[in-house]
A and B are shown apart, each in its own frame.
Chain A
Amino acid sequence: MHTNLSKHVFQEIAQLIPEGSRVLDLGCADGDLLEFLSRTKQVKGMGVDIDEKMVLQCIARGISVFQGNLDEGLRDYQTASYDYVILSRTLQVVHKPVLILKEMVRVGKHAIVTFPNFGYLPIRLQLLLKGQMPVTSSLPFQWYDTPNIHLCTKKDFRNLCRALGIPILKEIDLWNRKRIPPFLGNACAMEVCFLLQGSSNEESLIGEHRFQIQTIL
């Protein structure tokens, strides 16, 4: 289930997170990202997943986990109680992506969102040339049995962040296991990763992140 690409995304996420951070991983599945982050960055992590089997696997590997439904939001989570709230390859399956994004930037001082880029050229071409809903190795489902109900392109996501007033601190665009320049991202990235600023965090922008905002804008 875990492709080399997702392992590579883990490494990219890890590079964004300082050692010892408090991390909340939404849609944590079997806890593999949190385990990776606690091994490489000694984070104090907590996962959230709706699936009992996944919860069991997290517990078996000693990852703290909360069995819950992301579509109910994070209303019982304290504002700014985590350094990083992560939504990795989960945005496309939630029913209320706007709610979850707003909640992520409330609960986290930063938010990290990764998702498969639906603007990836081969995906566009499948629709254009074959006239069929795209099926790829990272989105392997048929239209009728896909859990992915909110697919978007990199550009779509940037537009949403802008509309919600959520500052983007960093964008990472991946083609296979390589980073590619952000300007190629919307068409060429298979997977994208966004670092977003938490809403309680306006004052605490560190120099590096401020610089990145300027380069993006």
Chain B
Amino acid sequence: MKDMGTKTNVEGSVGIVTPKEYTFGTSTTPLTLESGRTLYPVTIRYETYGTLNRDKSNAVLILHAFSGDAHVAGYRTEQDRYPGWWDPMVGPGKPFDTNRYFVICSNVLGGCQGTTGPSSIDPSTGKPYGLSFPLITIGDMVHVQRHLIDHLGIERLLTVVGGSMGGMQALEWAIMYPERVRSAIVIAATPRLTAQGIAFNAVGRNAITSDPNWNGGDYYEKDIPSRGLAIARMIGHITYLSEESMHHKFGRRLQNREQYGFDFNDQFAVESYLEYQGDKFVERFDANSYIYISRAMDYFNLDEKYGSLEAAFRRTKAKFLIVSFTSDWLYPPKQSKEMVFALMKEGKDVSYAELDCPFGHDSFLIETERQGKLFSSFLENLYAH
């Protein structure tokens, strides 16, 4: 057998990474949410890669999408089969080159991968929050990340970058903390969730809350609402792909048979794929986090929060790179262009790339080569000036 080597010397990999945690907020200094409610303490789990330079000017904050986590690159253990969720983008010699940049990624507020969320223990009861966890917004997620950036002693980030919900966070970073970001890379994002987007989220939440195990969100240490959560994930997955990519990947193939049996054991390949994705998701994700984070996305609307899209961008000081994908029907190019033109109207520095790519919304995770070239060029030019 070929020497598998250790994960520490896989070429271009950051190797084994150890997540870190930072906790802030007390009864006298709680985190105040956009809803007006307060929360304490707040723990944020994060990973870092590369080294912060002396003048702290090389920090890149990566913002994950709905179901992502802080583990963006490398491996957590020697036994890990797969690296972090954006490994082709982060590492020595990769687009977010860890030989040059100090890369940070943290799990979002409301999440279930180490940052405080509905599955965390409420110190006032000693039990998981469940539905007593306050509702949160994308802005709240960003607010929490700012605490982390303060903690790391970074005054100004070289860039904030994220796809999908990560793109929403990148937008809020540039708007909420204009002095703290030099640039924002906003990928496959939208200035607001449309009725269609809210509808898909609503069906996902309904699947969860209809599961007999859901029990009003109080299911910790009992049977979890795994069927509901799996169905929610299946719906999500349909929206992340394109018709073309589904056709290409599965067509009308049957999973285990050549011909129809005309019984209920007939299963199309696409069905099997969705089942698999649903089941895999249940192992790593909390149903209540699904509800809270999807709600946060529903609330996301820059026009409403700031008066208008133009008013939202008026305060920004970052250089923007906005990227969309032709086959993304969840957050289509039209919605990215709307942001580009609002930024242009405000006289902001913005570039826009519309990548012709068949993988739908998920393109931002899959098409890493062309994105990588864009981002490394954008950052190199910025970092050199």
Chain A residues in the interface with B (C-beta under 8 A): 44, 46, 52, 55-56, 58-62, 64-68, 76-78, 81
Contact = CB atoms under 8 A, between A and B. Distances in A.
A22 B354 CA distance: 24
Nearest to B375: A59
Given A62-B385, A76-B341, A81-B344, A67 B354 contact: yes
Given A52-B356, A60-B377, 11 more contacts: A55-B351, A59-B321, A60-B380, A61-B381, A64-B351, A65-B353, A68-B337, A76-B337, A77-B341, A77-B344, A81-B344
A46 B321 CA distance: 13
Contact of A56 (B337, B347, B374): B374
Given A62-B381, A77-B341, A81-B344, A56 B350 contact: no
Nearest to A63: B351
Contacts of A52: 353, 355-356, 370
B373 interface: yes
7 contacts: A52-B355, A52-B370, A56-B373, A59-B353, A59-B377, A62-B381, A67-B352
A53 B134 CA distance: 46
Contacts of B373: 56
B310 to A, nearest CB: 11
B188 to A, nearest CB: 14
Contacts of A55: 351, 353, 374
A59 B352 contact: no
A44 B356 CA distance: 28
Contacts of A68: 337, 352, 354
B21 interface: no
A68 B344 CA distance: 14
Interface string B307-338: 00000000000000100000000000000010
B378 interface: yes
B337 A65 contact: no
A68 B353 CA distance: 8
B142 interface: no
A59 B344 contact: no
B353 A64 contact: no
Given A77-B344, A81-B344, A60 B352 contact: no
B189 to A, nearest CB: 16
Contact of B349 (A58, A60, A64, A81): A64
A58 B351 contact: yes
A24 to B, nearest CB: 9
Nearest to B319: A64
A52 B349 CA distance: 19
B70 interface: no
B340 interface: yes
B380 A66 contact: no
B305 interface: no
Contacts of A77: 341, 344
B237 to A, nearest CB: 27
B374 A65 contact: no
A46 B351 CA distance: 8
Nearest to B320: A64
B20 interface: no
B381 A59 contact: yes
Contacts of A62: 381-382, 385
Interface in B352-385: 352-356, 370, 373-374, 377-378, 380-382, 385
B345 interface: yes
Contact of A46 (B337, B344, B374, B380): B344
B313 to A, nearest CB: 14
A64 B354 contact: no
B96 to A, nearest CB: 15
Nearest to A66: B352
Contact of B345 (A56, A66, A81): A81
A56 B370 CA distance: 9
Given A52-B370, A56-B374, A66 B340 contact: yes
Contacts of B380: 60
B374 A59 contact: yes
B345 A65 contact: no
A158 B128 CA distance: 76
A28 to B, nearest CB: 11
A111 B353 CA distance: 25
Given A52-B353, A67-B352, A78 B381 contact: no
B350 A64 contact: yes
Contact of A65 (B347, B351, B355, B381): B351
Given A59-B321, A76-B337, A81-B345, A65 B377 contact: no
Given A59-B374, A59-B378, A60-B377, A67 B353 contact: yes
Contacts of B352: 65-68
Contacts of B374: 55-56, 59
Contacts of A65: 351-353
B328 to A, nearest CB: 14
